[in-house]
Chain A
């Protein structure tokens, strides 16, 4: 799985790079370089395959049931893009090392960059479309992080959000397109998609599929009318812009066009949609770029325009145009990356990017100026540079199409676009490096550090040698990349500087002359543009749309959520009643089913009557809170009796222990709440609620009756049959919990652990006044820890723990198990807290083997039970030590480790089965001969149950002692004995 690792290395490297920044700023850059280099080294041995005409596909099952595989593909197109991503990435890493200032976090920058790079590599190396989409979305997310790198800047946050919104929506549309494509083809593998090209193009769903996929590609590569996000993304640091807008992010869109070219192109719909959007973008970008005063703004629109050019080429649907498109992808990446870097250097050394102030920089930085001028000439399409070659091919294709259709509008328009490209390139060179003296610059410009220009030099040299000797340099790479795009034999073409005096050359000359002329009249043009067209801003439309959406969402939310829980509960119950009641009213199903019932007996009737009376008493007396707590306890106990009656011993045990814990919890909480409820203000409200409650009760009772009187099929047979032979236990309920459905149980103990942690978080810094008197106005009992109770509970503890161990061990075969044992242990420990005080118990929980005299005695220190009269409000100085108020630190027993161990053991039990080649949480069991005890069964599920046990103990003790700890309102008195 070399390709998988090539993609994964940058993701893993992100963490490494972030860590490396702790050792020093430069280490981060070095680490990033090493990460990229590692990816390159992995990929390098495979690079020769596409040149030998081979294609590599590496596959591994992921979710085979959904047709999802981890599938990677290396053909010419993937190789070209992977090379661009890694190669330019390496240059960017070097450049950014000098670009970022002391205030910028290197680790964060390079970590984001690595994440982005991994996502890009994932896109270009994917064989599976769904997998491609996942990486696609990852580029949206990681580019969001990169663009908003300077989080303190408002425009950076806005630009990043806009980029994410536009490209994210596009990705969503693309998902729809891919699903349709998968539906048509019956597979998400690219190879299958290419093989079914004719089927796709003839399918009735072709147009929606194409439209949705193009939405994704166009938003990503900033095609009209989605181009507006790109200029705003310029708020990113320049290395980010140089990377995202030359070789990667926006190129992902054109990569997708190239990737799916064999499957989707060649239809009129493709031709008109793709070339139409491309042409509009080409013209709009080239035109607007001229009027941008910001260097990066000019480059942004220039990027848009060049992306339009590439899109237009793919839209033309001729093989030769596709070759030209791939060629221009390479050329644009090299000259645009170097131009962005040059712009960054100018910004860095001169302090501004405004071309109205940056003039005459030639004198200050001739080296940078030379490099920038060569790159800008390549952008303009001047001969001897790489931009010229692909532009000539582009013009030739435009002419070719025109000859076919007899319509010369297209060549005229692309020549015009070429003229504007020349004009803004001249502006980039002339306005910045010549054109008089700098105007009021923040800094005196000078050449940058030596290594900062090295990446620019490398790219500019590439522009030159490709431009002079294309066939010897880029030729082979272009050939395999184009072959990878077409998935067919290459058309005849010739990479050469000189093709004779032909129409494309004439068009180039016209564009050069016209562009120079446009530049000469730029001042009136700029004035005219800024008075009219320049005011139009797609951002206004975008903002209006986004704000409209947000305010509509707010209106809907506010209509339902008025901030009142009572209203929410009312709406919820009402909706449930309406939805549940509708089928009753409409249905013709008989109310009672055919299943024979059990006869009622006198005991059951009595018990049920007790439960009903206790429930009614709870409702009526809910304002006398202590009384209500007693009656609700009765309800809970009767429910556990019901479980016993109907053959559920496990449930009865659980219910019983939970009941105890719940009542203790509510008692502790009630101490801090008003002892009496307020009388209701509105009798109408009470009547309304009573009616709702009665209807809800009736509905549930009716539903229960209807179900209970019907026969049913159960899947229980499987569990009953396999519990013993395959789960190794006779208590089927327990085997289901720890084995068959162990994954659910793992989730559930996680929820319990989270509830415990959440409660601890809520209790932090919680200050509640303890009431001085109880509900009847009496002072609380001064004797917080009655001696008899304290002594009895200490005897009880070992017995209770023994019972818990017994329940835990027998759980697999007899009623019991981790949940119940955990609750029993928690109750036993909580009783110690209640009877002996938190300080006494905590000290023993922490240090079970330390000398007793060092431990606080009962009746002292922190108290769990409320004892406002038992302790004075402030500690008295100890006469023995004479050291003022030296408050003894209360030993806190922290049950976090218990929870962590529990979750750890449970998860590890699951993972251990992987080691034996079984799925997660597969259990095994065997028999062990213990001396004296005899034959003893040992199942791996019991280790899982131990994890459950620890989590339940930890979470429950944490909750109860946390609440009990609130009572420590007074400082602990110093030791007096």
Chain B
């Protein structure tokens, strides 16, 4: 199971990094979203993998997993949303002001040549 999670984190990271390196805004936003999944998962599993032991105190519970990474990741998820929202609106603003959706605000090669 550990190998599976490590693989999933790796795939998410690879996809996120590749998309973040693209030249247009929309794939970069997708890439950042994938990267936040990867980071959130990575932070979460720092508490190690455990099945069926949620950190909710009860008399019948057999044990509890580490609640601390979960608390960190919970806010991280919400903050990631705030960041994604900000970046996508920034992309819209850039498109409105610069007339294109390139991350560097550049015209496409063929447009520039014309």
Contact = CB atoms under 8 A, between A and B. Distances in A.
B74 A650 contact: yes
B81 A661 contact: yes
Contact of B37 (A639, A677, A707, A823): A639
Given A573-B21, A618-B34, A766 B82 contact: no
Given A677-B24, A768-B95, A642 B86 contact: no
A647 B75 contact: no
A708 interface: yes
Interface string A657-679: 01001100110011011100110
A702 B19 contact: no
Contacts of B5: 608, 642, 704, 708
Interface string B25-39: 111111001100110
Interface string B70-114: 110111011111111110111111011000010110001100000
Contacts of B54: 647-649, 815
A438 B13 CA distance: 81
Interface in B1-32: 1-15, 17-30
A705 B4 CA distance: 9
Interface in A864-879: none
A683 B13 CA distance: 21
Contact of A720 (B40, B55, B70, B101): B55
A564 B75 CA distance: 31
Contacts of A708: 2, 5-6, 45, 48-49
Interface in A578-611: 595, 597-601, 604-605, 608, 611
Contacts of B26: 622, 625, 670, 673-674, 677
B45 A704 contact: yes
Contact of A700 (B13, B22, B73, B83): B13
A733 B56 CA distance: 8
Interface string A745-770: 10010011001101100110011100
Contacts of A622: 19, 22, 26-27, 30
A238 B34 CA distance: 61
A709 interface: yes
Contacts of B2: 597-598, 705, 708-709
A599 to B, nearest CB: 7
B91 A566 contact: no
Contacts of A714: 47, 66, 68
A647 B52 CA distance: 5
A569 B88 CA distance: 17
Interface stretch (A100-108, A172-180, A723-731, A801-809): A723-731
A932 interface: no
Contact of B81 (A650, A658, A672): A658
B109 A651 contact: no
B1 A762 contact: no
A565 B50 CA distance: 40
A673 B95 contact: yes
B12 to A, nearest CB: 6
Given A598-B2, A665-B85, A697-B11, A689 B18 contact: yes
Interface in A708-728: 708-709, 712, 714-716, 719-720, 723-724
Given A700-B10, A704-B9, A693 B44 contact: no
Contacts of B17: 573, 689, 692-693, 696-697
B86 to A, nearest CB: 5
Contacts of B47: 714, 716
A655 interface: yes
Contacts of A763: 89, 93
A719 B67 contact: yes
Given A678-B108, A700-B42, A604 B4 contact: yes
Given A651-B73, A673-B25, A815-B56, A646 B65 contact: yes
Nearest to A565: B103
B109 A681 contact: yes
B56 A730 contact: yes
A284 interface: no
Contact of B18 (A669, A674, A690): A690
Given A597-B2, A704-B10, A618 B75 contact: no
Interface residues on B, range: 35 or more
B83 A755 contact: yes
B85 A759 contact: yes
B84 A611 contact: no
The winner among A646, A678, A692, A707 for most chain B CB atoms within 10 A is: A646
A612 B103 contact: no
B18 A693 contact: yes
A678 B26 CA distance: 11
Interface stretch (A3-11, A531-539, A628-636): A628-636
Contacts of A670: 26
Contacts of B84: 662, 665-666
Contacts of B3: 597, 600, 705
A789 B34 CA distance: 31
A198 interface: no
Nearest to A670: B26
A92 B100 CA distance: 58
Nearest to A752: B82
Given A651-B44, A689-B18, A814-B56, A618 B38 contact: no
Contact of A701 (B7, B44, B57, B90): B7
Interface in A763-822: 763, 766-768, 813-815, 819
Contacts of A755: 82-83, 85-86
Nearest to A605: B4
Contact of A666 (B29, B48, B95, B109): B29
A408 interface: no
B1 A597 contact: yes
Contacts of B40: 639, 655
A741 interface: yes
A724 B57 CA distance: 8
Contact of A650 (B6, B70, B79, B90): B70
A616, A732, A736, A959 pick with most chain B CB within 10 angstroms: A732
A646 B95 contact: no
A732 B64 contact: yes
B58 A618 contact: no
Contacts of B79: 748, 751-752
A626 B51 CA distance: 35
A819 B76 CA distance: 11
Contact of B50 (A632, A647, A952): A647
A701 B82 contact: no
B45 to A, nearest CB: 6
Interface of A: 563-566, 569-570, 573, 595, 597-601, 604-605, 608, 611-612, 615-616, 618-619, 622-623, 625, 628-629, 632, 635-636, 639, 642-643, 645-651, 654-655, 658, 661-662, 665-666, 669-670, 672-674, 677-678, 680-681, 689-690, 692-694, 696-698, 700-705, 707-709, 712, 714-716, 719-720, 723-724, 730-733, 736-737, 741, 744-745, 748, 751-752, 755-756, 758-759, 762-763, 766-768, 813-815, 819, 823, 952, 955-956, 959, 962-963, 966
29 contacts: A564-B104, A565-B28, A566-B104, A573-B20, A598-B1, A600-B3, A618-B15, A622-B19, A622-B30, A639-B41, A648-B54, A658-B81, A662-B81, A674-B101, A689-B17, A689-B18, A700-B9, A701-B7, A702-B6, A704-B9, A708-B45, A720-B64, A724-B57, A737-B74, A737-B75, A751-B79, A762-B86, A762-B92, A763-B93
The 10 residue pairs across chains A and B that have the minimum distance between CB atoms: A701-B10, A697-B14, A693-B18, A755-B82, A730-B57, A598-B1, A736-B71, A732-B67, A705-B6, A704-B6
Interface of B: 1-15, 17-30, 33-34, 37-38, 40-42, 44-58, 64-68, 70-71, 73-75, 77-86, 88-93, 95-96, 101, 103-104, 108-109
Given A642-B41, A708-B6, A752-B78, 9 more contacts: A573-B17, A597-B49, A636-B33, A669-B92, A678-B24, A690-B18, A702-B6, A715-B68, A716-B68
